[in-house]
Amino acid sequence: MTEVRTDWTRAEIATLFGLPFDELVYQAQTVHRAHHAAGQIQLCTLLSIKTGGCPEDCGYCSQSVKADSGVEATKLMDVQAVLQKAAEAADSGSRRFCMGAAWRNPKDRDMPAIVQIVQGVRAMGMETCMTLGMLTPKQADMLADAGLDYYNHNIDTSPERYNEIITTRTMEDRLDTLAEVRRAGINVCSGGIVGLGETRADRVGFIHTLATLPAHPESVPVNALVPVKGTVLGDMLADTPLAKIDDIEFVRTIAVARITMPMSMVRLSAGRESMSEATQALCFMAGANSIFTGDKLLTAANAGDDKDAAMLANLGLVPMEAEEPLRACKALEPAK
């Protein structure tokens, strides 16, 4: 088994990025097979349970109040409406149900409904994941007591690039939330976005930040930016098409995440709508073992269940069966 390390240096990670492509993918697939079942992909569904009106100024996000994207603010969905969507996702083969709310942080008055949602989805036998923004210790404990399996809070990019993307909260705010989630005993889901106009050095810094946490995130979503008109980055990158990350560099990022965080689920997340089947196949070869299915990811278009089923069949991949997730702080203990 590959040693789980939390002492990676940026120089080591940069060296991985610079390997010949076939060697990098070979190493990533070797690491992947040492810790995960080959040829199995976890199917996940993502639902926006509260859309728009977020006071944060994330430059990529159509749900920010700073964006002129046409996304209208809504209230938190009714509990039964969320559970109906979860049931439909389970019927379509999803084994993980992820829920996002466009908040800087949840209000205490929202927590009873959130707790009911977690309990209801878990009762269907699916993994649960939520992203609600920053949490107080009390809120984290409530989610843990409800049985929430994963809490998502992405770091987005490198520490050096971070304040060029978001100014309303800091990288330290993000890391503090992840520490609070870990303390409460919830598995950590944290990744980021590539294609923000960043450099490879930023991608190195992004992976380094996650791979040197006291324990690796159990779940690492890697997103390709979906430029949305009316957002800062969507408008900026529309005028600089060469800023878009190329497919091979995206696969390299997946592979380096797999090698440095061998036991984590590496999730091929947003941006698949614009990827060819061949690019996605390379991502799976590089160690990605989870995708989001359905026609929409929060507010962005997604490939759709039928298209995904056809792709998996063509590649000879099979959906992963549901498993009881290990509780946080025990799942990914670094080697002594």
- Is the separation of the CB atoms in 79 and 110 below 8 Å? no
CB 127 within 8 A of CB 321: no
Which residue is catalytic, options 44, 54, 182, 283?
54
Nearest to 280 by CA among 224, 326, 333: 224
Residue 44 annotated in active site: no
* Catalytic site includes residue 283: no
3-state secondary structure of 301: strand
Q: Which helix (H) or strand (E) holds 33?
A: helix 21-35
Nearest to 99 by CA among 118, 112, 72, 123: 118
Bridge-based pairing of strands 300-301 and 318-319 is unpaired
Task: Reply yes or no on whether 329 is catalytic.
Answer: no
Q: Note whether 188 and 217 are within 8 A (CB).
A: yes
**Active-site entry in 96, 258, 267, 272:** 267
> What CA–CA distance (Å, rounded) separates 49 from 291?
19
Backbone Cα Rg of the chain:
18
Q: Which of 44, 96, 98, 258 is catalytic?
A: 98
Catalytic residue, chosen from 58, 169, 182, 272, is: 58
Q: Which residue has the tokens 């209801």?
A: 120
| Segment holding 80, helix H or strand E | helix 79-91
Catalytic residue among 61, 95, 96, 203: 61
| 201 token code pair | 């050095």
Q: Which DSSP letter does residue 73 get?
A: P
Residue of 44, 95, 96, 129 marked active site: 129
Q: Give me the catalytic one of 44, 96, 189, 252.
A: 189
Rounded to whole angstroms, how far apart are CA atoms 139 and 105?
10
Question: Taking a C-beta distance cutoff of 8 angstroms, is the pair 277, 18 a contact?
Answer: no
Catalytic positions are 54, 58, 61, 98, 129, 189, 267
